[in-house]
Amino acid sequence: MKPLFRALKLLGILAVVTALFAGMYLHPSWLWIVFFLVAYILHGLLFADHIYYRRQSDYKWKIAGKDRQEAIFNGPELLLPESLRSGDHSVFLKVKVKARLSGRLFDPALRVLSEGQRYAQYFERGCKGFRYINLTPAIEGLKEAEALSLRGRHCHFSKEDAELVAFKKPDLVGKKVLYVSPHADDAEIAAFGLYKNTDSLVVTITAGEAEPETFGRYFSNSSNPNEREQAAILKGRVRAWDSITVPQWAGLKSDQVVQLGYFCKHLKKMHESPEVQVTSEYAGVADTRIFREFNTVKLASDSHGTSSWQQLVDDLAELISGFQPDYVVTPHIHVDAHQDHQYSTIAVREAVAKSDCADVFVMFYANHLANTDMHPYGPSGSLVSLPPVTGDEVNLSGAFSFSLNEVEQKDKIMALEMNHDLRRPVRWKKWLRKRLQKTLIKRYQPDYGEDEFFRKAVRANELFFY
């Protein structure tokens, strides 16, 4: 209860000092300013999390046909069946979690202890219901132990109805993996560690030229329509450069990265009229070749640069046929809410069907959730598990947790730093809110990047669905 007492003490002192200061020194007309200042601070501490679902809801993943068994506990120790101790499964504990009273102010977490190593799974404040705890990295580190120790912080969990859910990990040794990145940085956010450790081809679909405001400062009159278009072209070229160069930080060669140069936020429009060539409303161009200048891989469409849906599918089919991947990693249509991400995957499906690569296994990732931009909860370095699905059930055939060691996490930080779009200036309200939370409720904020993806993407594991 000590954290709760500290929180109540903090709020009490704040209220008392405010009242004394207001009563003794301020003219009554200033009282409203003090009131709004205190209200702003309390709002930033307690009510500013962007969570658009009931925190007291179960996560409704529809999991069928996999290894599911009752979770057996010996006190706080979770006993692991011998079949799951080999490390060749991604293992999740489905368990009821409930935040304590202190867990409405501080971030609740379940700590997993494994032969001296610690992992933490964080939840939304005020949570209640079934959650999935990712045990995979902890199990991979086991040498002799047959159990994991679980400890709640600002929350407790119920052993009743708890179960272990295990998925056989895909065999990636000697296999080829094609990664679909709707924009520069998506592949790094979702799968930097995985593509660093596999025979990979990273394909970026759009140049990412939208929202070029921060590039307008390089022009004398950014309100001029022509200069706004030039700023968008500059931004698209810079992000195209990012898409080609950043994967090489992970060891990929220049012929393992391709930028297709289609236009940001236009994929849905292209899909609706597959044969029609579209023009970027930001850059004012209709030729994809302007954003392909850094490619070393040549495509048939380099002869004309047509920006249509049908040509996008043809480009992807050409790459798939040439690379012959065993696996394709692409955004999840029902979990990732970004429209470009959804239509990228639709294009991939059409391209696979059109290619001469018949046997491809598709895995999915989700960088943008519709019901919150906070997940994964908690600080960088903690665990990623199944995200909140609280409305209609989402089918899940499997989940693959790929662990990252500390060196790989540091490399991933650098890869994110290299992406220009993740270094945009943060709005002052968000900057101030993060500092208030860090100071007053000890919510961890990384020192190496203001963008939320530095917290959300640099984790002990990366997570994929199939």
Q: What is the 3-state secondary structure (H, E, C) of 285-342?
A: CCEHHHHCCCCCCCCHHHHCCECCHHHHHHHHHHHHHHHCCCEEEEECCCCCCCHHHH
Q: What is the pLDDT of residue 64?
A: 76
User: What integer best gives the mean pLDDT of the chain?
Assistant: 91
Quote the percentage of the chain above a pLDDT of 90: 72
Determine whether 452 is exposed, middle or buried from the number of CB atoms within 10 Å of its CB (0-12, 13-18, 19+): middle
pTM over 0.85: yes
Residues 328-348 have pLDDT tens digits of: 999 999 999 999 999 999 999
Residues 41-73 have pLDDT tens digits of: 777 888 889 999 999 999 999 987 667 889 999
Per the CB < 8 A criterion, the answer to whether 52 and 372 are in contact is: yes
Is the predicted pLDDT of residue 420 greater than 60, yes or no? yes
Is the predicted pLDDT of residue 409 greater than 90, yes or no? yes
Higher pLDDT, 203 or 145: 203
Is the predicted pLDDT of residue 162 greater than 90, yes or no? yes
Is the predicted pLDDT of residue 222 greater than 70, yes or no? no
Residues 382-404 have pLDDT tens digits of: 999 999 998 777 899 999 999 99
Token digits for 44? 């930033």
Q: What is the pLDDT of residue 25?
A: 57
Cα–Cα distance, 281 to 303 (Å, whole number): 23
Contacts of 212 (CB under 8 A, 6+ apart): 228, 231, 232, 234, 235, 282, 283
Cα–Cα distance, 302 to 287 (Å, whole number): 10
Residues 188-197 have pLDDT tens digits of: 999 999 999 9
Q: What is the pLDDT of residue 391?
A: 77
For β-strands 147-153 and 77-79, DSSP reports them as: antiparallel
Q: What is the pLDDT of residue 418?
A: 97
Is the predicted pLDDT of residue 34 greater than 90, yes or no? no
Q: What is the pLDDT of residue 51?
A: 94
Per the CB < 8 A criterion, the answer to whether 44 and 432 are in contact is: yes
Strands (E), 41-82: 61-63, 67-70, 72-74, 77-79
Per the CB < 8 A criterion, the answer to whether 120 and 382 are in contact is: yes
- Cis preceding-peptide flag for 325 (omega within 30 of 0): no
Per the CB < 8 A criterion, the answer to whether 94 and 162 are in contact is: yes
Q: What is the pLDDT of residue 38?
A: 74
Residues 247-282 have pLDDT tens digits of: 999 999 999 999 999 999 999 999 999 999 999 999
Q: Assign 275 to helix, strand or coil.
A: coil
Q: What is the pLDDT of residue 251?
A: 97
Cα–Cα distance, 398 to 414 (Å, whole number): 30
Higher pLDDT, 74 or 313: 313
Q: What is the pLDDT of residue 390?
A: 81
Residues 112-145 have pLDDT tens digits of: 998 888 999 999 999 999 999 999 999 997 888 8
Q: What is the pLDDT of residue 323?
A: 97
Q: What is the pLDDT of residue 427?
A: 87
